[in-house]
Structure 1
Amino acid sequence: MIRYPYLKEGTTIGVTAPSSGVNAELHNLLRHSLERMKMRGFNIVCGETIWTQHKAKSSPAQVRATELNNMMSDNQIGLIIPPWGGELLIEILEYLDFDNFQSKWILGYSDTSVLLLAVTLKTGTATAHGANLLDLRGEYSDKTTAMWQPVLSTKTGESIIQYSSDKFQKEWKHSDPSPCVFHLTEQTYWKTIQNSDVNVQGYLLGGCIDVIRHLIGTPFGDVQYFQKHRIKNKPILWYLENCELSTTDLRRSLVQMKLAGWFNNCSGLVFGRSDANQPIDQYTAEDIYRELHEELNIPIIYDIDCGHVPPQMTFINGAYAEIEVKDGKGTVKQSFL
């Protein structure tokens, strides 16, 4: 069984930095993000870790873990959102008190996806791969990003549909702030390696492949247990996004996932857009997708709204999803079964 948290109106958001905190010169952006959430009717509880950053982490691992443990066991907090991702979240996993985690949403992406996937695999509680707190500081959000709140407000037994974006952001323009954080200029087009319409279904798991691959072989990456005991051997539908891996490193990581059994009883793979997908010796990301399709004999969808090239949908680890691609447009129906 999967436990699905429920986001109540006016809930209290816990803001903590299990990976990177925010440097002093960017505290104004953090304060703006916190104020924006208050304006939307949420209460805010801030941890101390969000205000500090030293040697690629907000604070020592045990400090970060203690703050997160306290927020996860606090009944007054209904949602955890880190300011953003980072590099070294994996350091805190051994100090987390999973047995005492309350059922509440954790929302984020990038390095935060290590925490999201570990929590869902260890506890059977659904987690939300989507916007970071600083992504939500704008006067308004594009309609794709804004779906985070309706998705997290879906009740157990209900479903919700998201649609592919109209346009995506080609490059970050931090020197050009706007009422919407993202500058969406390029036409979105979801692709399939089969060059045909695709409909695929399964229980969602995924995240940023750069970091979640390091859960393989640890107590926090037991996909087989999750599949057998949480979803009764139903197929898994993986969504993945590449932040910084070269195409050859991406290929190595996917082969490792395959050899570790993560793709056993897998119904499909969907990949987010990526700036990192630059060819190595003419070896492209499309070559990788084609090889996976041939090896696993499953649908491959790519350039979807997920990851470091915004905007992105909110994908729920543990939700039953139906993903459809037709004429370059995509729909994602997630059911909290």
Structure 2
Amino acid sequence: MRQGVILLVVVMMSGLAFTLSSPPGIAYPDHFPTTAYDFRAHPLDSAKVQLGRRLFYDEILSADGTISCASCHSPYNAFAHTDHDLSHGINDQIGTRNAPALFNLAWSTSFHHDGAHHSIELQPLAPISHPAEMGSSIGDIVRRLSEHAQYRQAFSESFGDSLVTGERVLKALAQFQLTLVSAGAKYDRVQAGKDTFSVQEQKGYQLFQTYCNDCHFEPLFTTGGFARNGLRVDTTLNDFGRMMITALPEDSLLFKIPSLRNLSYTHPYMHDGRFRKLRQVLKHYASRDVRPMPISANEQSDIVAFLLTLDDRDFVFNRNHGFPH
């Protein structure tokens, strides 16, 4: 059996140096917390990461060979999707929720808008099996990959033999997604003392800390928990959030709190993609019935100015996790 090779990640982003942190596997700056994912028990392996990257972009995972993970999670949109309010799948079907952005997943302990999965290795099962998304099954995927000589070789290089299993497919996909670290925005440079906020950005930062930080806790800009966003239920989708998983009435209309990083790339916003502009989101929170945010139009502009400092262009255009050539 081939010995595992830890993937060492040392990159430079916008003048901000990232060095390999403990636990080994991915690089992130000092102002980030410790990862939730246990890299000591499951270290990254360069061959597995590249296999997962290839699988992520391959339509072979879908029932009719037309949809890949990247179809709804484009690298140029911080691994979200801006063409549709809701995800699109095989046979031109439309899903029930907006495709969430994929980054900083090593700090997550639950996945999907409703937290249906608590393991990044199991998370892909939901879109793979959803009839309006990939419409497939892990068994069918194993069969298709096993018939593919190049994939058998890739599994041999990654796992020591050419056997394709569902566990290995999910492991490889997870390994790739764990490398998607967004931590090189202007905000991060400011935290590292490499840059400074403008006057308006600083005003927005102070307003953000007053009104937004409880749910969108920095530096990840999410607590990873669930909250009610105050939106009226779409009577077509009838999406009641986490309650649809737990069946608990107290979980009605609870949705996972998204990160606010890379908002310029991840519109439309909210679990159903109903808002296309940040200003619409802020107006909603300023006017909602429960716990409204008492912010003026000028203060909303200040908050937007701060939120734009969370854009990580180097992450979005990083060729190392783009389409494999």
- What is the TM-score of this pair, normalised by structure 2? 0.31
| Structure with the largest fraction of strand | 1
| Structure with the largest fraction of helix | 2
- What is the TM-score of this pair, normalised by structure 1? 0.30
